[in-house]
Amino acid sequence: MQREEQQIIDWASMVDEFIVVLDEKGAIVRSNQPWIEFCNAHSLTESLWKSGTDYFRYFKEQEKDGEATVLHQILQKEKTEHKQIYPFVLTDGEIQWFSLKVRPIMKKNQQIQGAFISLKPIHLHTIQPITAESVLESMTDGFYLLDEDLRFNYMNEIGESLLGCKREDVIGKGFLEVFPEAEGSTFHTEYVRALEFKVITEIEEFYEPLNMWIWKKVYPLKRGGLALYFQDISKRKIAEEKLKEYAYYDYLTKLPNRRLLVKKASMLKKAKQKFSVFYINLDNLKFVNALYNYGAGDKVMKKVAERLSTVVTDKCMVGRMDGDEFVVLYQPGTGERLEHLASRLVQLFEEPFLLDDFQAVTIQVSIGIACHPFDTSQLEQLASYSEIAMYEAKKLPGSTYEFFRPKMKVEHDRRSKIEEGLAGNLDELGFEFAVQPQINGETEALVGVEILSRWNHPELGMISPIEFIKVAEQTGAIASMTKFLLEKVFVKMKEWQQNYGCHVRTAINMTPSLLANPAFFDNFFKMIEESGISPTQIEIEITEQAELTYSETTLNYLYLCKEKGISIAIDDFGTGFSMISYLTHFPINKIKIDKYFIQKIGESAKSEALLRSLIHLGKSMECELLAEGVERPEEAEFLKAHECTVFQGYLYDKPMKPEDFEKKYLTSLSPIGRNK
């Protein structure tokens, strides 16, 4: 046994207080004689004093969680002392009051060695008021005594300050006389119950007149009346409320969050209620953030939330999912139409939102609506259907809403399959390419080819590149897809060189996102180098886009292409909207006039004049010219007459399988071909 412990025990045997010494794990090391005698005299369990007893276990068995917490805090050095007026319920149900102190026992090195508990019996009725008072006044809890008629007998100083009254004003007065608003409150009814049934109770309630959350413990006294301890627990309660808020409400808009929406929907489902999900997406918030700043986006979100809140009723909950997505859960009453709410929601966005600096921002919304249980009784599906309908609404201009229709799901599933495929093994999934020759109409010679992707999907069959390229561009899969395509094409080009001595210029289509992707370009250049193919044999086709999307990086990479000898062609020329600035800013080698203008040949003098000026423009920039989509001989004649002589179109060839292209164009070039 440690010396410190022994000293305490020696001392403990000399005092008439009750002393229990615990080790650092909470087991009794020693109890002093007066405590053992007290326990025996009241037939109390040995566990209270016997050496070796684990006090934590005893507290647990007795469900004395508060006591266990205090002891734990002392043994963990979280508290250096605990003092309390402690009611000890004896075996006969009577209460013995103790002045309780718990302190840690420290080793010399400041490590915890154990705890020291002292219990001094106090007799509230018999001891001199001054002694009782000194104890009660030193407490950190508020305290008062009520007699059997609930009249104040005593109140300590803390009690005065917590309740905002003076004891001289309350002593002798009835509880309800001092706190008339407490009539019928839990406090009052529990006091009456504690008096009548002699039970200890604990109450936690908000008391409006004091604007305070109060915790109270009520002890009935042996000779009638009640002793009450209380604390102001407002801070804790507010923290708890805040936590609840964080858990169920969105921090920015203060609207219910996803969790609360899901909870509400589950409740409605369980109650077999009909309800509809309105999935609301703000179309152009990204724009607001880019144009102004993130603060502006937040302000707009708050204002959007305010406007949406105007539709809230007890049958209509508005919440924020994430980002720029809101959800309305609506239980329509009989005769109430969903369209009505939908158009009301749309109307909410007609007026622009004013920012602080009086900038007006117009926000458009797309709303998708799905109904439970009409569309589905599964909540996850319901959410996904409303989202699918929202995407349908997004396809329409302006603020709009769409109800979910099963057909939408078919389209959605198709898109998901395409997305999945693009992220998967393209080789196994039937991803191929076609080759379309570019012909000099005067000499009929092959001057180039364009590579066009083809996808024969195992489930969906042939998918148009227009469809899957759009998806790839949106999901970001375009980079890996194009890399895969380039690998295949380079292998083919190498074969053509080796087998047929063919060095035809081969064009690959690029999208805006690829042009702004340095990693893609770096890899592209590396692949060209590794393939051993001359860069002059490679052409990239870029489309006219709003100049905005072409950054400094894009321009630098395009110049790098030019430096290396890679040819740059403008695809679909004439359909974009910044032609002139393209031609002057970009290092262009070739212009591919869009088939729209070619098809107009012979149709109207006006469109022919336009085509002539396009050709003229190209010539004046010293660019190569190519006409796309040439189908009819008269188109070819017209073009030739106006000095545009290179054609790509069905008149010569449709896009063809590489093998067919080899057979038609290359075998005649090869030594083997010539020998045939």
Please give the residue ranges that form the binding site for ligand C2E (CB under 6 A). Answer: 436, 452-453, 464-466, 469, 485, 509, 511, 571-572, 595, 629-631, 648-650, 655
Smallest separation (angstroms) from ligand C2E to the CB of 655: 5
Residue 410, amino acid:
V
For the CB of residue 648, give the shortest distance to ligand C2E in the complex, in Å.
6
205 versus 572: smaller Cβ distance to ligand C2E: 572
Q: Between 507 and 528, whose beta carbon lies closer to Ca ion? A: 507
The partner in contact with residue 485, picked from ligand C2E, Ca ion, none with C-beta cut-offs of 5 to 8 angstroms by kind, is ligand C2E
Q: Which residues pair with 122 in a beta bridge?
A: 97
Q: Which of 118, 386, 506, 509 binds Ca ion (CB under 5 A)?
A: 509
Residues whose CB is less than 8 angstroms from the CB of residue 37 and which lie 6 or more positions away in sequence, other chains included: none
Residue 42 has which token pair? 């009241």
Minimal distance in Å, beta carbon 350 to ligand C2E?
37
DSSP classification of residue 548: G
User: Given the complex with ligand C2E, which of 23 and 653 has the nearer CB atom?
Assistant: 653
What is the per-residue burial (b if ≥16 Cβ within 10 Å, else e) of 355-368? Answer: beeeeebebbbbbb
Q: How many H helices and E strands in the chain? A: 27, 26
CB atoms within 10 A of CB 221: 22
Both tokens of residue 555? 């321009």
Neighbours of 96 (CB within 10 A): 16
Q: Which does 511 bind (CB under 5 to 8 A by kind): ligand C2E, Ca ion, none?
A: ligand C2E
Q: Which of 190, 375, 387, 571 binds Ca ion (CB under 5 A)?
A: 571
Q: Which of Ca ion, ligand C2E, none does residue 464 bind (CB under 5 to 8 Å by kind)?
A: ligand C2E
How far is residue 233's CA from residue 573's CA, in Å, rounded to a whole number? 74
Q: How far is the CB of 606 from ligand C2E (least distance, A)?
A: 22
Cβ proximity to ligand C2E, 29 vs 478, nearer residue: 478
Q: How far is the CB of 472 from Ca ion (least distance, A)?
A: 15
Q: Could you tell me if 333 and 396 are in contact, meaning their C-beta atoms sit under 8 angstroms apart?
A: no
**How big is the chain, counted in residues?**
676
Whichever of 141 and 571 has its CB closer to ligand C2E, that residue is 571
Residue 452, contacted partner among Ca ion, ligand C2E, none, CB below 5-8 A by kind: ligand C2E
Say how many C-beta atoms besides its own lie within 10 A of residue 534's C-beta.
Answer: 15
Contacted by 655, from ligand C2E, Ca ion, none: CB < 5 to 8 Å by type? ligand C2E
Site for Ca ion in 199-228 (CB under 5 A): none
| Comparison of 66 and 424: residue with beta carbon closer to ligand C2E | 424
- Binding partner of 156, given ligand C2E, Ca ion, none, CB within 5-8 angstroms per partner class: none
Sheet holding 28-31, edge to edge: 28-31, 18-23, 112-122, 95-106, 82-89
Give residues 356-415 in contact with Ca ion (rule: CB under 5 A): none
**CB neighbours of residue 76 within 10 Å:** 11
Judged by CB under 5 A, which of 141, 375, 387, 541 binds Ca ion? 541
Smallest separation (angstroms) from ligand C2E to the CB of 471: 12
In the bound state with ligand C2E, the residue whose beta carbon lies nearer, of 98 and 573, is: 573
453 binds, among Ca ion, ligand C2E, none (CB under 5 to 8 A by kind): ligand C2E
Q: Provide, rounded to whole angstroms, the least separation between the CB of residue 556 and Ca ion.
A: 23
The answer for 201, left when phi > 0, alpha when psi is -120 to 50, beta otherwise, is: beta
Q: Write out the H or E segment, with its range, that includes residue 457.
A: strand 446-457
Q: What would you measure as the largest C-alpha separation in the chain, in angstroms? A: 130
Residue number with CB closer to ligand C2E (24 or 631) = 631
Q: Which does 544 bind (CB under 5 to 8 A by kind): Ca ion, ligand C2E, none?
A: none
| 486 touches, from Ca ion, ligand C2E, none (C-beta below 5 to 8 Å by class) | none
**What minimum distance in Å lies between the beta carbon of 485 and ligand C2E?**
5
Is 324 a residue that touches Ca ion (CB under 5 A)? no
Binding part of the chain for Ca ion, among 34-42, 198-206, 229-237, 620-628 by CB under 5 A, reads 620-628
Going from the C-alpha of 385 to that of each of 246, 264, 337, 406, the distances in angstroms are: 28, 18, 19, 9
For residue 219, CA distances in Å to 50, 436, 485, 632 come to 28, 95, 83, 103
Q: What minimum distance in Å lies between the beta carbon of 451 and Ca ion? A: 9
Q: How far apart are CA 288 and CA 432, in angstroms?
A: 41
Q: With respect to ligand C2E, which residue has the nearer C-beta, 392 or 594?
A: 594
Shortest distance (Å) from residue 449 CB to ligand C2E:
12
Nearer to Ca ion by C-beta: 75 or 569?
569
Candidates 418-426, 521-529, 596-604, 622-630: pick the segment binding Ca ion (CB under 5 A).
622-630
Residue 99, contacted partner among Ca ion, ligand C2E, none, CB below 5-8 A by kind: none
Preceding peptide of 373 cis, ω within 30°: yes
Residues in CB range of 280: below 8 A, 6 or more apart: 308, 325, 326, 327, 328, 345, 365, 366, 367, 390
Q: How far is the CB of 426 from ligand C2E (least distance, A)?
A: 11
CA separation for the pair 123, 567 (Å, rounded): 103
**Quick one: 384 or 509, whose CB is closer to ligand C2E?**
509
Q: Which residues does 260 contact at the CB level (< 8 Å), separation at least 6?
A: 248, 249, 319
- Between 54 and 660, whose beta carbon lies closer to ligand C2E? 660
Angle between helices 465-475 and 478-500 (to 10 degrees): 130
5 near Ca ion (CB under 5 A)? no
Token reading at 363: 């926000």
CA distance 86 to 97: 6
Of 572 and 631, the one with the shorter C-beta distance to Ca ion is 572
Q: What is d(CA 74, CA 611) in angstroms, rounded to the nearest whole number?
A: 92
Contacting residue, 467, 572, 608, 631, with Ca ion by CB under 5 A: 572
Write down the least CB distance from residue 482 to Ca ion, Å: 13
Chain-centroid distance, C-alpha 566: 44
From the list Ca ion, ligand C2E, none, which binds 556 (C-beta under 5 to 8 Å, kind-based)? Answer: none
Compute the least distance from the CB of residue 418 to ligand C2E, in Å: 14
| Nearer to Ca ion among residue 629 and residue 658 (C-beta) | 629
The residue type found at 367 is I
Least distance from Ca ion to the Cβ atom of residue 460, Å: 23
Cα 466 to chain center, whole Å? 32
Helix (H, G, I), strand (E, B) or coil at 50: coil
Judge whether 271 and 280 are in contact, CB under 8 Å. no
Q: How far is the CB of 559 from ligand C2E (least distance, A)?
A: 21
**Based on CB atoms, which residue is closest to Ca ion, 203 or 625?**
625
Is residue 544 a contact point for Ca ion (CB under 5 A)? no
Provide, rounded to whole angstroms, the least separation between the CB of residue 453 and Ca ion: 11
Rounded Cα gap, residues 155 and 150, in angstroms: 13
- Residue of 571, 576, 620, 586 lying closest to 612 (CA atoms): 620
Listed ranges 38-46, 249-257, 475-483, 628-636: which one lies at the site for Ca ion (CB under 5 A): 628-636
Which C-beta is closer to ligand C2E: that of 31 or that of 453? 453
**Which residues of this chain interact with Ca ion, rule CB under 5 A?**
509, 541, 571-572, 628
